[in-house]
Homo-oligomer: A and B are copies of this chain.
């Protein structure tokens, strides 16, 4: 099921997947928690069959880890995990930029630009409100990824890796000057794509992601040293 598919029919498994997924990403179900199927089935008021279907998909996007006959656990956030994840993300979104510079239509590029302007105005109103930054950033990256027109790349980035990326970002947050700086970086990236300069877009995207990684890394280090 690629992100580009239309939602043809919503099943109970789909609904509970979205619910549990956001609960994990937002930290409502804390990292490292043991997942109990009977408990979740009661909590979301359905049987274990669709629940297990949802758990299988959560495993697919690395939000939980399952071991046969032993159950599932919400993934733990760690520095090594962050580095591995962002290492891959740099490479893949860099590729997405090169492909987007090649395949995005003028129409699509114009839409992304409109999106950025809209985010900017929203951001100015709600200064420092990191949630809007979060949503806007995800949206921007999502558009570029779709612009690559490579279904496997789209699937991996937006269906598999992105929820874990969001989990790191939501739980460890963006802070300080990064929030406003990210807008300028997005602008520069879409400009490069508009100029059909894939190499530059690639480079800028890698730097953008690397900067984001350093930011979260610091949060993780601080949290690690202060509490443990």
19 further interface pairs, Cβ-Cβ under 8 Å (given A84-B150, A84-B153, A88-B156)? A1-B59, A8-B67, A8-B70, A9-B68, A9-B69, A10-B68, A56-B57, A60-B60, A84-B151, A85-B152, A87-B95, A87-B99, A87-B150, A87-B153, A88-B150, A88-B152, A91-B92, A92-B92, A152-B161
| Interface flags, A63-85, vs B, CB<8A=1, else 0 | 00011111000000000000011
A53 contacts the other chain (CB 8 A): yes
Q: Is the interface of A mostly helix, strand, loop or mixed?
A: helix
Give this chain's copy count. Answer: 2
Complex alpha-carbon distance, A73 and B68, angstroms: 27
* Chain A: interface residue total (CB-CB under 8 A): 35
Complex alpha-carbon distance, A161 and B153, angstroms: 11
A34 contacts the other chain (CB 8 A): no
Q: Which residues on the B side are within 8 Å of A151 (C-beta)?
A: 84
CB-nearest residue of chain B to A92 = B91
Q: Which residues on the B side are within 8 Å of A70 (C-beta)?
A: 8
A52 contacts the other chain (CB 8 A): yes
- A148 smallest CB distance to B (angstroms): 9
A11 contacts the other chain (CB 8 A): yes
Q: Which residues on the B side are within 8 Å of A110 (C-beta)?
A: none
Q: Which residues on the B side are within 8 Å of A87 (C-beta)?
A: 95, 99, 150, 153
Q: Which of A88, A151, A153, A155 neighbours the largest number of chain B CB atoms within 10 Å of its CB?
A: A88
B156 adjacent to A156 (CB under 8 Å): yes
A169 contacts the other chain (CB 8 A): no
A49 contacts the other chain (CB 8 A): yes
Q: Which residues on the B side are within 8 Å of A143 (C-beta)?
A: none
A11 adjacent to B68 (CB under 8 Å): yes
| Interface flags, A83-123, vs B, CB<8A=1, else 0 | 01101100110010001000000000000000000000000
CB-nearest residue of chain B to A90 = B95
Contact check: which of B11, B52, B95, B155 meets A91 at CB < 8 Å? B95
B84 adjacent to A152 (CB under 8 Å): yes
- A132 smallest CB distance to B (angstroms): 28
Q: Which of A169-224 contact B (CB under 8 A)?
A: none
Q: Which residues on the B side are within 8 Å of A160 (C-beta)?
A: 156
